[in-house]
A and B are shown apart, each in its own frame.
Chain A
Amino acid sequence: MARVPDKRTTEDDVVAELRDGMTIGIGGWGSRRKPMSLVRAMLRSSVKDLTIVSYGGPDVGLLCAAGHVRKVVSGFVSLDSIPLDAHFRVARQAGAIEAHELDEGMFLLGLQAAAWRVPFLPTRAGLGSDIPRLMPNIKTVQSPYPGPDGGPGEELVAVPALDLDVSLIHMNRADRGGNGQFLGSDPFMDDWFALAATKTYLSCEQIVPTEDFPKYGSFHTQRISRLHVDGVIEAPRGAHFTECLPDYGRDEKFQRDYSLAAATPEAWEEFKQRWLEHESEKGYQHALQDRAADTESEAGR
């Protein structure tokens, strides 16, 4: 039987590939199944002036707060159980970043256009709204076909391709070749992120032999093909503190602490020192275990 190629790598090796000014797609949705161990590796690096393309959650907030971002392309930046990401708000309200906000559906069409290697995809979404006014790179196009009334072709929004240099996604399971399996309720747009980028890196809770995927879910959950994946990182609890069902839920307490850290520069400094200044992902995960032990001993008192 044929074998898959071995594409295993590490977070830090992936981040070493990133260059200032790149456009980086980040999978997941809000505070769900985000490739946070890769984001944490970016936070440890000096890469800057990034354009982040994301159905945004704490990935966007953290990268903005730490000064790695020039521009954010998003439909929203939300923590789900907390509607707004406080760090993103701070950056926006200070005028520190350029915001390129799209309708959530236009965003998907931009990824699809990039994936299919066409310059744009047409849609009615965006017509009449302020998106074309505020995002002047978004143009309209006239259909070459007659309108529904037999008149001239319809004017539609031409969503430009969201061409990505690199995409980062997180799956529940993957094999060493980069075939990925999601076990939660929704693949989000991770399949499209993988296709829209020149290079895609996939982190996962666990690397398993290809033939073991059926132990975890039906073949419908094997959504990502290695055709579109350049590197695989085994990252247990790598999506922490976002939700990664069924492996784990969202760490709501951690998320609250993260939110509160936007209140003052001192609070951010404290959060950063405690959680983001570890030498490696391992250090972060150890710190999490210590915190869990503290909580247990408090509860036992």
Chain B
Amino acid sequence: MTVADAAGAGAVTRAEFCVVAMAECFRGDGEMLCNPIGTISMIGGRLARETFEPDLVMTDGFATFTQSTLPPGTNPYSSRDGRLHLDEVVEAWNPYSQMFTTLWNGKRHVVMGGSQIDKYGNQNFACIGDYNKPKAQLLGFRGAPGNTINHVTSYWIPNHSPKVFVEKVDVVCGVGYDRARELGPVASRFHEIRRVVSNLGTFDFDTPDNRMRVRTTHPGVSLDEIVEATGFELAIPDDVPDSRLPTAEELHLIREVIDPDNLRSTEVKG
């Protein structure tokens, strides 16, 4: 599904709508560690920094905060004359132990994936089925519990389906709003699930009981399609706008600068 773009730069793909929707998650973050994990979310973060959020700090995916606009999947480290060579501009060294200090300190907005997410934004990528003998062992808890309780979190889900958007996740890795509420206002004061972006639309939790709400539909996707692909009842406002179009500058940046190899199309087709 492609849509003609107003700026006349050619058809905008679904993957490109997703990139722009991801970039929009970081609007207003200012001088914050923008830490998207995943291909399209990474491109979106880079796009936000190249345009409307220039003060964002970003990682190289390994051990630095980098000023370079590294295309997704780039590994800037190599061996040269027996020494470690870095093909990037480093702002600061941030090895893993330091990353935990950074995130416990709070100036971070992470974007994680999820094998399951529920209507309050609880997320699971540890395992499917019984924890002690899982049907499918997945990633483990990784950093999800600590991330979600310490700083802003968004999610990027490239395969929106009822198997992923479920009534109840099998294991809570990332903490959702119902769990946060049970903890009380003090323990949950740094908890915020900002946005969920999928291949079909964008979602937030701006409802009285923080239930997931449709925020926008990607052009070419109907509300019915989203409802069909979701395993729980979404809050649906009277007026659901389309996800916004990229500007000509944004399209240029996505296609020529940030993701010249079109890796975005491997995550979301079309």
0/1 string, A162-191, CB within 8 A of B gives 1: 000000000000000000000111111100
Q: Which residue of A lies closest to B185 (CB)?
A: A149
**A124 close to B150 (CB less than 8 A):** yes
Contact pattern, A 61-92, Cβ under 8 Å of B = 1, otherwise 0: 00000000000001111100001100011001
Question: Closest residue of chain A to B180, judged by CB?
Answer: A128
Q: Within the complex, which residue of B86, B104, B127, B136 is in contact with A125, where a contact is CB–CB below 8 Å?
A: B104
B79 touches A126 (CB 8 A): no
Contacts A77-B140, A95-B133 given; does A148 touch B189 at CB 8 Å: yes
Quick check: A29 and B96 within 8 Å, CB to CB?
yes
Among B82, B135, B145, B185, contact of A246 (Cβ-Cβ < 8 Å) = B82
Asked if residues B137 and A187 are in contact (CB atoms below 8 Å), the reply is: no
A108 contacts partner chain B, Cβ-Cβ < 8 Å? yes
Give the residue name and chain of the A residue nearest to B81 (CB): A246
- A154 and B83 form a contact (CB under 8 A): no
Which listed segment binds A: B45-53, B168-176, B212-220?
B168-176
Please, which residues of chain A bring their CB within 8 A of the CB of B97?
Answer: 108, 187-189, 192
Q: Chain A contact residues (Cβ within 8 angstroms of B): what range?
A: 35 or more
Structural contact, A183 and B83, CB atoms closer than 8 A: yes
Q: A93-B137, A124-B190 are in contact. Are A185 and B84 (CB under 8 A)?
A: yes
Nearest B-chain residue to A111, judged by Cβ: B97
For residue B234, CB closer than 8 A to chain A, the reply is no
Contact call B96/A125, Cβ cutoff below 8 A: no
Task: Kindly state whether residue A105 has any CB partner on chain B within 8 Å.
Answer: yes
Rounded to whole Å, the gap between the CB of A108 and the closest CB of chain B is 6
In chain B, positions 119-173 with a C-beta closer than 8 Å to chain A are 126-127, 131-146, 148-150, 171-173
The listed residue (B80, B86, B173, B190) touching A129 by CB distance below 8 A is B173
Q: Is B187 within 8 A of A189, CB to CB?
A: no
Determine whether the beta carbon of B137 is less than 8 Å from that of A88. Answer: yes
Residues of B within 8 A of A (CB): 62-64, 77-80, 82-86, 95-97, 100, 103-104, 126-127, 131-146, 148-150, 171-175, 179-180, 182-183, 185-191
Given contacts A125-B146, A245-B79, 7 further A-B contacts (CB under 8 A): A94-B133, A95-B132, A103-B142, A127-B187, A129-B173, A188-B96, A246-B85
Interface of A with B (CB < 8 Å)? 29, 55, 74-78, 83-84, 88-89, 92-95, 98-99, 101-106, 108, 123-131, 134, 147-149, 151, 154-155, 183-189, 192, 216-217, 245-249
22 contacts between A and B (CB under 8 A): A75-B141, A76-B142, A78-B139, A83-B139, A88-B137, A95-B133, A105-B146, A108-B97, A124-B104, A124-B187, A125-B104, A127-B145, A127-B183, A128-B180, A129-B144, A129-B174, A130-B172, A155-B187, A184-B84, A185-B64, A192-B97, A246-B78
